[in-house]
Amino acid sequence: MTVHDLDDYPWDAVAPFAATARTHPDGIVDLSIGSPVDPTPDVVATALRTATDAHAYPQTVGTAALRRAIADWYARRRGVSGLDVDQVLPTVGSKELVALLPLLLGLGAGDVVVHPRAAYPTYEVGAKLVGATPVAADDPAEWPQGARLIWINTPGNPDGRVLDVDELRAAVARARELGAVLASDECYAELGWEGPWAEQPVPSVLDPRVTGGDVSSLLSVYSLSKQSNLAGYRAAFLAGDAALVAGLLTARKHLGLMLPAPVQAAMTAALGDDAHVVAQRERYRARRDLLKPALERAGFRIDHSEGGLYLWATAGEDAWASMERLAAIGILAGPGHFYGTHFPQHVRFSLTATDERIAAAAARLDASRSS
């Protein structure tokens, strides 16, 4: 497969619904793509400005300060202590890593890449680009022989599902039985909302309760886009098996996949400051607390969504019908059709809108019940 064989970018199909939503007298409430709307924290922006004299090529491996900050963050925020700096690696956002990981691991025709049943399309795209076969399966017992790379996503996008320690332990055991790399996309880990995740951190695949101290064949992927409003910085990283990290580093050096030096400085600052993360989490909590009951009052059932940046909802009808009804009241969401073939009646609502726009959505949903 080549890039010329890829399907059209799915969000182009949403354009007519966006056009309808924009005709609302009070404007569109765009809850479709999860692009942050809140300001980049001052501590991060200051670090970026200070580092703008970046005349030399940056290091693909990252500065010593950044690698130390990543390892310290895993210990402090994720309960993963003991990571060495050679077990971490910055990436140019997390999406490019998801798309390129099959290539960087040397996968090709005849190999299988497993991803969640409800999944954003890049897992599948990465598999197809190298001629591997993508397979959607959540239950480790269903992961097939021939799997070389297995993606899990916790909290999930789009469904907000959080995997607990026992579920992660089962995933690790099955991946090792198959001889596969297990990559855990954990980009929303600071955003746990319901059940135990309201009070305790979402566990990582590298958590010692999961691994027993052995991180071989395991990778954790994280992004600062959501927790720190750095989507425009393309600031992310991975951690895990030192041998896997070393191989990925070598490949990324050859490909020139390096983060700009000012971004590395900004990441270091972001990872060292927990206060802005707590503040951003509370913004999303308040928006979720307003939008979720409004959707339920309007006839939507919320599935999973115990963590992450989205509400995964269904009104028991085809997602395109829900999209049409929502657009008529000026709300744009994301159709479940974009996230695999298994959830044609679901829509995804993002919490990345201003307080005022979330309040407007809730008001419109309530008004639609009496119209």
Per residue in 251-286, pLDDT (tens digit) is 999 999 999 999 999 999 999 999 999 999 999 999
Separation CA 277–CA 200 (nearest Å): 15
Q: Specify burial of residue 96 (Cβ count, 10 A radius: 0-12, 13-18, 19+).
A: middle
Per residue in 308-358, pLDDT (tens digit) is 999 999 999 999 999 999 999 999 999 999 999 999 999 999 999 999 999
Cis check for the bond before 158: say yes or no (omega within 30 of 0). yes
CATH number of the domain enclosing 58: 3.40.640.10
Are residue 92 and residue 35 in the same domain, yes or no?
Answer: no
Cis check for the bond before 155: say yes or no (omega within 30 of 0). yes
* Residue 144, domain member (yes or no): yes
Are residue 88 and residue 223 in the same domain, yes or no?
Answer: yes
Give the bridge partners for 57, in sequence order.
none
Are residue 183 and residue 229 in the same domain, yes or no?
Answer: yes
Q: Rounded to an integer, what is the distance from CA 223 to the centroid of its chain?
A: 7
CB atoms within 10 A of CB 258: 19
Are residue 302 and residue 208 in the same domain, yes or no?
Answer: no
- The pLDDT value recorded for residue 166 is 98
Cα angle 221, 272, 252; round to 5: 35
Task: Find the mean pLDDT for residues 92-121.
Answer: 96
Are residue 131 and residue 111 in the same domain, yes or no?
Answer: yes
Are residue 233 and residue 346 in the same domain, yes or no?
Answer: no
User: What residues make up the domain containing 267?
Assistant: 52-273
- Of 249, 273, 297, the position where a domain reaches its end is 273
Are residue 194 and residue 256 in the same domain, yes or no?
Answer: yes
Tokens found for residue 85: 């700096």
* Residue 65, domain member (yes or no): yes
Read off the pTM.
Answer: 0.93
3-state secondary structure of 153: strand
Residue type (1 letter), 200? Q
Dihedral sign, Cα of residue 191, residue 245, residue 41, residue 229: negative
3-state secondary structure of 77: helix
CATH number of the domain enclosing 363: 3.90.1150.10
* Residue 44, domain member (yes or no): no
Per residue in 146-201, pLDDT (tens digit) is 999 999 999 999 999 999 999 999 999 999 999 999 999 999 999 999 999 998 99
